[in-house]
Amino acid sequence: MQATGMLTSRPVIGVSQKFTVHAAFLLLYPGFFFYQTLLGIGVIGAYLGGYFTLVALLLLPALALAFIAAVKRNKNYLSGMDAWLVLFVIYYFSILTINYVAGADPIIIERYTQSMVFCFETYVIFRMIDLEDRRLILVAGLSLLVMSVITYYFSIGGFFFLQALGEAKSPENLATYQGFARSYIYTYIVMIAVVRSMAMRYVFYGVGACALFLNGARSEFSGAMFLIPVIELYYAKHRLYAISVLVFVIALVAGGIDEITSMLPENRILQLLDLSHSTSAVAREHLSQNALRTISENPIFGDFASYPDGHYAHNVLCAWVDFGLFGVIFFLALLISHAAWLFFNGFFSKTKSSYFVLAWAFICITLLWALTAKNMPDMSVGAAMGAFARYSYRKRNRIER
């Protein structure tokens, strides 16, 4: 006799929908990395421009149809998170439309429109991803390995910077280190989520840390380091003991930080140890002060497009500037409330779940970036909410065993 609430043997997501979602993930993340590598070393020209935006737009109809097909296949597939996402998109696009009609800077409108498209696509991808699909995990794992080797091999003086090679036929289309880091960490998080062996996880931690260190993207490197205790505390059988070990390791590293850094090549990641000497950190502090001044002058409605593109605070304050008090509260509530739900409804569960790790990792890293590093909404928001919806769906329907 089946337990109440158990799904039937019929899969919720059809083969074609799963193929679409997995192909989209591989094309947008490892695919971007490999295309940009070939572009950077001069093997190909910029046949697809900078790649990511064009491919994302081409994938948009297929991903939308895949999600619609999954809903039609099982009416129980829709959840409260889907409703939250719809409200989020409606509110943000309403603000964009009003300001576009009012004559706001079209570059800012375009940037936010792209961000919302990326959020929707990452939502669908991580809402429907099948972490039990061996082919996906095999391809993602091989891709992460190749991306790591490329990063190590093409690093010059301790920094992965393909523009320094001077081989690109279309250097204006070559991505910065940040684009490469984005592809790397999204693939890295998927692999970390599925690895149950602690020894193998630490191998991935080491490989990922080295690659992101050479890449030089401080946001992604900090995020990867932040995820280590976040994930290991979830798996720890004795959390108090694990916390004690973690504190001891941090104190040990802090005590020998000078010796450690002396053995490392010169790299902008080392600026994290002293942000007062980082021109980027100083600039971001200045941009945050500008945002706070704008917010103090317009606390309720903000002041949409009051800064040129690229001059916004690299944190959640930019959402307050452009979308007002309600917009930033809505955005933060979306993340914090679901982070709290995961903590109280999954973090202490005896049954360990790869889907929980995926959701927990993306929500934690998105909150970190929202506070310190990236303009919001970033595509990581879509990934976090999609992964959350995937885990809560499985938990709601008692698929987790």
Q: Read off the pLDDT of residues 156-213 as tens digits, 9 standing for 90 and up.
A: 877 888 877 778 888 888 888 889 999 999 999 999 999 988 889 999 999 999 899 8
pLDDT band at 5 (very low <50, low <70, confident <90, very high): very low
CA distance 94 to 158: 45
Select the more confidently predicted residue: 218 or 33: 33
pLDDT at 74 (0 to 100): 83
* Residue 101: exposure state from Cβ atoms within 10 A (0-12, 13-18, ≥19): exposed
Q: Which long-range contacts (CB under 8 A, 24 or more apart) does 66-69 make?
A: 66/16, 66/17, 66/20, 66/21, 66/124, 66/128, 67/17, 67/124, 67/127, 67/128, 69/14, 69/16, 69/17
CA distance 204 to 279: 31
Number of CB atoms found within 10 A of residue 319's CB: 25
Please say if the pLDDT value at position 11 is more than 50: yes
Arithmetic mean of pLDDT, 229-254 = 73
Kindly give, in sequence order, each residue whose CB lies less than 8 Å from that of residue 29, ignoring residues fewer than 6 positions away: 143, 182, 183, 186, 187
pLDDT at 321 (0 to 100): 93
Distance from chain centroid for Cα 201: 19
The domain locations on the chain are 15-396
pLDDT at 355 (0 to 100): 95
Point out the least confidently predicted range of 86-100, 245-259, 358-372: 245-259
Vertex 340, ends 339 and 344: CA angle to 5°? 120
pLDDT at 370 (0 to 100): 93
pLDDT at 205 (0 to 100): 92
- Highest mean pLDDT out of 6-10, 301-305, 384-388: 384-388
- Confirm if 364 and 378 have CB atoms less than 8 A apart: no
Kindly give, in sequence order, each residue whose CB lies less than 8 Å from that of residue 249, ignoring residues fewer than 6 positions away: none
Q: Read off the pLDDT of residues 44-84 as tens digits, 9 standing for 90 and up.
A: 888 898 899 999 999 999 999 999 999 888 878 888 888 98
Q: Read off the pLDDT of residues 75-132 as tens digits, 9 standing for 90 and up.
A: 788 888 889 888 988 999 999 999 999 988 899 999 999 999 999 999 999 999 999 9
Point out the least confidently predicted range of 59-68, 237-246, 342-351: 237-246
Please say if the pLDDT value at position 326 is more than 50: yes
pLDDT at 217 (0 to 100): 85
Please say if the pLDDT value at position 6 is more than 70: no
Prediction pTM value: 0.90
Please say if the pLDDT value at position 399 is more than 80: no
CA distance 24 to 60: 9
CA distance 390 to 366: 17
pLDDT at 375 (0 to 100): 87
- Cα dist from 111 to 33, 101, 130, whole Å: 21, 16, 30
Q: Which two tokens stand for residue 363?
A: 């929500």
CA distance 7 to 371: 39
Q: Average pLDDT of the chain?
A: 86
pLDDT at 373 (0 to 100): 81
Please say if the pLDDT value at position 246 is more than 80: no
Please say if the pLDDT value at position 8 is more than 50: no
Kindly give, in sequence order, each residue whose CB lies less than 8 Å from that of residue 25, ignoring residues fewer than 6 positions away: 125, 129, 136, 140, 186, 190
**Residue 155 phi, psi dihedral angles, 5° rounding:** -80, 135
CA distance 161 to 154: 7
pLDDT at 240 (0 to 100): 67
CA distance 43 to 154: 14
pLDDT band at 322 (very low <50, low <70, confident <90, very high): very high
pLDDT band at 267 (very low <50, low <70, confident <90, very high): low
- Confirm if 154 and 43 have CB atoms less than 8 A apart: no
Please say if the pLDDT value at position 24 is more than 90: yes
Please say if the pLDDT value at position 281 is more than 80: no
Arithmetic mean of pLDDT, 369-373 = 89
Arithmetic mean of pLDDT, 247-264 = 58
pLDDT at 7 (0 to 100): 41
Distance from chain centroid for Cα 349: 25
